[in-house]
Copies of this chain bind each other. A is one copy, B any other.
Amino acid sequence: MVIKMKDYERKAYYHETDQMQIIHHANYVKWLEEARIDFMDQLGFSYFEMEKRNILSLVLQIELNYKNPVKFNDTVLIKIKVESYNGVKLELSYEIINKATNVLCVSAKSKHCFISNGKVVSLKKLLPEFHEKMLSLI
């Protein structure tokens, strides 16, 4: 099974700029979340549905490497790759790329686990279909 994922596309908003006249660096953490949620939607296991089923995705770690600024009105593409996944832990990597110039602006990584009723759970049992899809993406 090959799943072709679409990049997440996003315009940089005016209210996201700071007085250095670039997008403030905290916003990229929000953009990663948006891209991750879009990624899950594409896989057919939306964040929205997961929370309804009482499964929460926790962020354990985020690392951001700021390479080039994004400016107001720029459009970026965010590419996600599954670095590792074992049912319990998920590691993703991201590239935030300026759509017009193809310049890499931010590279990032995030680590996650999943919890239900306050306990870490394995998606292998809870969401076997999702589990299989994730494995196919590594």
Q: Report which A residues bind B (CB closer than 8 A).
A: 13-15, 17-22, 24-27, 29-30, 33-34, 37, 46-48, 51, 56, 58-66, 72-73
Interface of A is mostly: mixed
Query: In whole Å, how far is A103's beta carbon from the nearest beta carbon of chain B?
Result: 16
A17 and B72 alpha carbons, distance in the complex (Å): 14
A51→B51 CA distance, assembly (Å): 22
| B19 and A26 form a contact (CB under 8 A) | no
How distant is A26 from chain B, measured CB to nearest CB, in Å? 4
User: Min CB distance, A57 to chain B, in Å?
Assistant: 10
Kindly state the separation between the CA atoms of A27 and B19 in the bound complex, as whole angstroms. Answer: 14
Q: Which residue of B lies closest to A63 (CB)?
A: B63
A24/B15 contact (C-beta < 8 A), A60-B66, A61-B64, A72-B48 known: yes
Instruction: State in angstroms the CA–CA spacing of A58 and B21 once bound together.
Output: 13
Nearest-CB distance from A35 to chain B (Å)?
Answer: 11
**How far, in whole Å, are A83 and B106 apart by their CA atoms in the complex?**
23
- Could you say which residues of chain B place their CB within 8 Å of the CB of A17? 18-19
Q: A47-B14, A48-B72 are known contacts. Are A62 and B25 too (CB-CB below 8 A)?
A: yes
Q: Is the Cβ of A25 less than 8 Å from the Cβ of B59?
A: yes
When distances are taken between beta carbons in the complex, the residues of chain B under 8 Å from A73 are 46-48
Minimum CB–CB distance for A17 against chain B, Å: 4
